Amino acid sequence: MTSLTEENYLKALFHLSSKKGEVTVKDLSNELAIKMPTVTSMMKKFSEKGLVKYESYKPLKLTEKGSRAAGLVIRKHRLTEMFLVEKMNFGWEEVHEIAEQIEHVKAPSFFEKMDQMLGHPKFDPHGSPIPDKEGKLEWKQFSKLSEAKAGDLFELQAVTNSDTSFLSYLNNKNFYLGLHLKIVEIEEFDGSVVVSFGENKMEVLSNKVAQGLLGEILNLDS
Amino acid sequence: MTSLTEENYLKALFHLSSKKGEVTVKDLSNELAIKMPTVTSMMKKFSEKGLVKYESYKPLKLTEKGSRAAGLVIRKHRLTEMFLVEKMNFGWEEVHEIAEQIEHVKAPSFFEKMDQMLGHPKFDPHGSPIPDKEGKLEWKQFSKLSEAKAGDLFELQAVTNSDTSFLSYLNNKNFYLGLHLKIVEIEEFDGSVVVSFGENKMEVLSNKVAQGLLGEILNLDS
DNA sequence: AACTCTTTTTATAAAAGCCTAAAAGATTAG
DNA sequence: CTAATCTTTTAGGCTTTTATAAAAAGAGTT
């Protein structure tokens, strides 16, 4: 059986792996705010359980089994988020923390039922993909809004992080997934982006925000 | 913060208190299948936390605070059961175990939302009352089917235990809450009860079963 | 090859839960 | 009312989980 703590290590491994490919003990230590020796010994345990491939001084790698286990935790988390938003009417900014709790519940049929009620969704409310029942993730390649050029049309399809504060910020601007943004201008010196959308609405977004918005660039010309 | 283990002690205390008034360390030990010394030390901890009144060699008593805390755990459990049955289409025999897990989730808004979606239910799917937001329980006085007399009409309103096996047994006989049973006969020697219901259906129930069925005796005559 | 920086090892530790055996208290029978 | 018996608590210990700091070992670099 995998404990709550172990599930959190798995999630962190999963996230770091997809971001950087290589994951070191140090990375994990930073991500989880747990000292390196602690992480090292947990990785030995994981290695014995066959969840990671680990040799001293070398980067960690999730094994097939570990990847599956991690994917299933993420799956529980994201299914829960979707359920909370779609079936219980929570706002997308509220669900991350609640799901953080529910993801550790040991009751497969509960998550099965959610999945079924939701019609086997492929994405969570923040546009993050939901791993399948094998824990496997299909990667959709998103573009960042920060990569768009003036004149482009951009469809917002996901966000890079689900912090309450970031999502509330987007709520305030009336942003939602599926929204189409026209890139009016990009400031050279700081990378901020001016976008227009809806009925004459216009916003200036910092580069940081623009990097956090994912979607598709619908090139008009070219 | 109260741990999962502590919540289980609280639940047990709550159940035993309502059944027998007096709860001893021994009772608790039996109920939880944990040795007495372990229970004793946990009760000292509870006493320090102000959850029980405990003096050596005397029966335990939940304090106001303890009673409230226990009631709130039960509330989470029963709300969850109701939600699983009403909103997610689980069978009443499946939900106990799932709720046993979910009841420990620390996310008040989650349970709040359930309560709201369910229209602030007063009973769970097995007819057990749901404590209010203060953890207080309104006691409804049920009669046992085993107390009925031949000729009585009995409305099934609750069951004393929610074990999967018992509920599946009732499912097989097509029993459900709200069903009206006519008591045809009571066997003197073993207390078994013969009931008829619906369209010519008839069943013989052992005394044990009859003691597990709660409801109202609708006296026809007298 | 020596020095520095990073990572692992080793040795501890604290908390949570639980247990057995011994001691102390309560109860009951003579 | 006192001794024998039964019950409950105290004392002490064990295991697991998760974490740490300080020492040792390895890698990398000049």
Q: Residue A134 carries which side chain, given as an amino acid letter?
A: E
Given pLDDT bands bounded at 50, 70 and 90, which one contains residue B151?
very high
B102 contacts A110? CB cut-off 8 A: yes
Work out if B38's Cβ lies within 7 angstroms of strand C: yes
Q: Look at the alpha carbons of A212, A214, A218, A219 in this order and tell me if their dihedral is positive or negative.
A: positive
Per residue in B153-163, pLDDT tens?
999 999 988 88
- Each residue's pLDDT tens digit, A87-105: 999 999 999 999 999 999 9
Is it the case that residue B179 has pLDDT exceeding 70?
Answer: yes
- Among residues 143-202 of chain A, which lie with CB inside 8 Å of chain B? none
Q: What is the pLDDT of residue B220?
A: 63
Of B88, B97, B105, which has the smallest distance from its Cβ to A101's Cβ? Answer: B105
CB atoms within 10 A of CB A191: 14
**Is B117 a residue whose pLDDT tops 90?**
yes
**What confidence tens digit (pLDDT) does each residue in B49-85 have?**
999 999 999 999 999 999 999 999 999 999 999 999 9
What region does A17 belong to: left with phi over 0, alpha with psi -120 to 50, or beta?
alpha
Please report the pLDDT score of residue B221 as a whole number. Answer: 59
Hits for CB < 7 Å against strand D across B residues 53-112 = 56-57
- The answer to whether the beta carbon of residue B42 comes closer than 7 angstroms to any atom of strand C is yes
Q: What is the dihedral of CA B209, B211, B212, B218, to 10 degrees?
A: 110
* A98 Ramachandran zone, left/alpha/beta (phi>0; psi -120 to 50): alpha
- C-beta of residue B178 within 8 angstroms of C-beta of residue B156: yes
Sign, CA torsion B89/B93/B99/B101: negative
What pLDDT is attached to residue B163? 86
Q: Is the pLDDT of residue A221 over 80?
A: no
CB–CB of B106 and A101 under 8 A?
yes
Query: What pLDDT, on a 0 to 100 scale, did the predictor assign at position A144?
Result: 93
Size of interface A-B (CB pairs under 8 A): 41
Evaluate if residue B3 carries a pLDDT over 60: yes
A117-135 pLDDT tens trace? 999 999 999 999 999 999 9
Q: How confident is the model at residue A167 (pLDDT cuts 50, 70, 90)?
A: very high
Residue A220 has pLDDT above 80, yes or no: no
Q: Are A216 and A179 in contact (CB under 8 A)?
A: no
Q: Which domains does chain A have, with CATH numbers?
A: 4-62 (1.10.10.10), 73-139 (1.10.10.10), 143-218 (2.30.30.90)
Alpha-carbon gap, residue B160 to A111, rounded angstroms: 28
Tell me the CA distances in angstroms from A14 to A11, A26, A66, A69, A98, one per residue in order. Answer: 5, 15, 9, 10, 20
- What is the tens place of the pLDDT at every residue in B34-51? 999 999 999 999 999 999
Place of tokens 């009860």: B193
Percent of chain B scored above 70 by pLDDT?
99
Residue B130 to residue A203: CA distance in whole angstroms = 49
In angstroms, the separation between the Cα of residue A161 and the nearest Cα of chain B is 21
**Could you tell me how many helices (H) and strands (E) chain A has, helices first?**
8, 8
8 Å CB contact of B113 and A102: no
Q: Which residues of A13-32 are buried (b: 16+ CB within 10 A; e: fewer)?
A: bbebbeeeeebbbebbbebb
Check pLDDT > 80 for residue B209. yes
CA quadruple B168, A118, A18, A162: dihedral sign: negative
Q: pTM for the full model?
A: 0.89
Give which of B197, B190, B181 is closest to B148, Cα–Cα. B181
Name which of B97, B95, B119, B114 is nearest A87 in CA terms.
Answer: B114
Q: How far apart are CA B7 and CA B68, in angstroms?
A: 12
pLDDT at A222: 52
Q: Which nucleotides of strand D lie within 7 A of protein CB?
A: 7-12, 17-22, 26-27
Strand extents, DSSP E, chain A? 52-53, 61-62, 143-144, 153-159, 180-186, 193-197, 201-205, 213-218
Residue found by looking up tokens 């102000």 in the block: B50
Q: What mean pLDDT do residues B120-147 have?
A: 93
The pLDDT value given to residue A1: 81
Q: What is the DSSP secondary-structure string of B121-187? A: -SB-TTSPBPP-TTS--PPP-PEEGGG--TT-EEEEEEES---HHHHHHHHHTT--TT-EEEEEEE-
In the numeric block, which tokens belong to residue A29?
A: 């230590």
C-alpha closest to that of B12 among B2, B21, B27? B27
Q: Which residue has the higher pLDDT, A221 or A54?
A: A54
pLDDT recorded at residue B138: 86
Q: How far is CA A185 from CA A194, A203, A209, A211, B134, in A?
A: 5, 11, 15, 15, 56
Q: Does position A14 have pLDDT exceeding 90, yes or no?
A: yes
**Is pLDDT of A106 > 80?**
yes
